[in-house]
Structure 1
């Protein structure tokens, strides 16, 4: 397994995931499309959230 760093598009939410990435999906939202972002689903226990939950809000 490899540890991959990541963040939301503005960089406020930072995290790492431990995974063996063997495929990825293309997101077609306007932000991901402009950035060429790909996504990969991991189980909850593979996510290491570095931004405290108390600092997060719901984005709509």
Structure 2
């Protein structure tokens, strides 16, 4: 499904998936990174139904 431009403009952008995962892991809710087909950056979503969990980032 294509991301609507109005949604893309409201969301925070991350240059890399690793940056998005780091922010997602710092929150109390489950967030998943995805590459936006509009801006080609990564955003976070709380919609996780039917999706694989985000990979754990090693420190």
TM-score (norm 2): 0.25
More strand by share: 1
| Structure of larger gyration radius | 1
TM-score (norm 1): 0.25
